[in-house]
A = this chain, B = another copy of it.
Amino acid sequence: MAGSPRRTAGRRLQLPLLCLLLQGATAILFAVFVRYNHETDAALWHWRNHSNADNEFYFRYPSFQDVHTMIFVGFGFLMVFLQRYGFSSVGFTFLLAAFALQWSTLVQGFFHSFHGGHIHVGVERLGRLSCCSWPCWRWCYLASTSLCSLVSSGVLYRPQLEKSKHRQGSVYHSDLFAMIGTIFLWIFWPSFNSAPTTLGDGQHRTALNTYYSLTASTLSTFALSALVGRDGRLDMVHVQNAALAGGVVVGTSAEMMLTPFGALVAGFLAGTVSTLGYKFFTPILESKLKVQDTCGVHNLHGMPGVLGALLGVLVAGLATHEAYGDGLESVFPLLAKGQRSATSQAMHQLFGLFVTLIFASVGGSLGGLLLRLPFLDSPPDSQCYEDQIYWEVPGEHEDLAQGPLRAEEPETRA
């Protein structure tokens, strides 16, 4: 059931080799390049004679911890709603997030904190990396699961429909587990948006705007979900995902002078677009374009993300010296120096959106092709969303669903 012997042998070595190879590579690069920064090194910090309470640790660490809780608990549990994919969702998010911490220390370090032949690390750097690199890793993970489902559409849901009534309890609790993910994402999205911004009012404003936007997307999600639901019933999938769209939509503009009212409007629109996307656009994607966006990445990150980029263009275009005062320098440095007009800043951001979209499309296609290469030994279509392939599932039986099913055997035998 778990594949031919050759395939099994291949799989046995695949993950260990990948982990060892990646860990070996980062370890060597760490030995050569990574050093503590001025805030973390015993000699450097004490040489500068600072008060210990001024160490950036005290200003960055709480937000940094929030972001980690968000990533590990939030994203980890968000996809546990796939009842036979819980181990994989939590487990592989755990593995990827752990590796991303190491990898992004290097990648971001080379670009942003490379001085005198070394990368200098501290909590501030680490927080920044998590925020910046996460979307990238997240995307890879989602691309792979999406691709898997794309290939296997038609195969995936049939057995579930047939047997579903015996696994309802499970599904109900899976949805509650997923709500743990959603709620941790919701609470800590303000920290996620504000962690990499400049200290002071910028960070303060970012957190506040994100909160207001999230409250509005939650309200619009409940409103729209009941409006389009059968008999006016709410759909847990909408609440689990679209309620978070408010955090995505202000990703670019939360540091700007968006105003609390602007945050409410942005969040409300994002929640609306995302909920309607789940209801009407995902089925079209599935039936017409044969893309099965199981995790709703398009509706949560795609549309609200584009909407947010456009909002950033708008708010940047409206930036004035009156509204920002001396704070203009930390939000739009080029604008403050007079090297760029607000309109030109807006155009630059619009151009950035297009570049991002092109990169995402090309990268997505390449990644998709890569994952289909035979030597990567991707699981057969019929085994997608099945913990069994990668995990020892309790009970030493091949199929989790078999357990409850046995209860019906008398019927079958009779």
Interface string of A21-38 (1 = CB under 8 A from B): 011001100110011100
B59 touches A58 (CB 8 A): yes
**Which residues of B are found within 8 Å of A322, using beta-carbon distances?**
43
Let me know if A373 is at the binding interface, CB within 8 A.
no
**Which residues of B are found within 8 Å of A52, using beta-carbon distances?**
198-201
With known contacts A73-B187, A390-B234, A395–B61 Cβ distance under 8 A: no
B61 touches A231 (CB 8 A): no
**Which residues of B are found within 8 Å of A47, using beta-carbon distances?**
325-326
Within 8 A of B (CB), among A256-288: 257, 259-261, 264-265, 268
A126 touches B208 (CB 8 A): yes
Closest chain B residue, CB of each to CB of A190:
B65
**Which residues of B are found within 8 Å of A41, using beta-carbon distances?**
201, 205, 257, 327
For this complex, 14 residue pairs linking A to B, each with C-beta atoms less than 8 Å apart, are A9-B232, A12-B229, A23-B223, A23-B264, A36-B205, A46-B326, A50-B200, A58-B59, A72-B183, A77-B180, A90-B176, A94-B183, A166-B404, A236-B394
Q: How many copies does the complex hold?
A: 3
With known contacts A205-B42, A260-B36, A323-B42, A53–B55 Cβ distance under 8 A: no
Smallest CB-CB A-B distances: 3 pairs: A43-B325, A42-B327, A52-B200
Which of B40, B90, B392, B397 is in CB contact (< 8 Å) with A204?
B40
A226 touches B27 (CB 8 A): no
Query: SS class of chain A's interface: helix, strand, loop or mixed?
Result: helix
Let me know if A76 is at the binding interface, CB within 8 A.
yes
B264 touches A26 (CB 8 A): yes
Interface string of A165-186 (1 = CB under 8 A from B): 1111111111111011001101
A102 touches B27 (CB 8 A): no
Q: Chain A interface residue count: which class?
A: 35 or more
**Which residues of B are found within 8 Å of A180, using beta-carbon distances?**
73, 77, 180
Closest chain B residue, CB of each to CB of A56:
B204
B168 touches A403 (CB 8 A): yes
C-alpha spacing A198/B57, complex, angstroms: 12
Q: How far is the CB of A255 from chain B (nearest CB, A)?
A: 9
C-alpha spacing A139/B247, complex, angstroms: 28
**Which residues of B are found within 8 Å of A8, using beta-carbon distances?**
231-232
Q: How far is the CB of A94 from chain B (nearest CB, A)?
A: 7
Q: How far is the CB of A199 from chain B (nearest CB, A)?
A: 4
Interface string of A72-107 (1 = CB under 8 A from B): 110011001000001100110011001101100100
Let me know if A379 is at the binding interface, CB within 8 A.
no
C-alpha spacing A391/B227, complex, angstroms: 12
**Which residues of B are found within 8 Å of A69, using beta-carbon distances?**
187
Which of B3, B14, B169 is in CB contact (< 8 Å) with A400?
B169
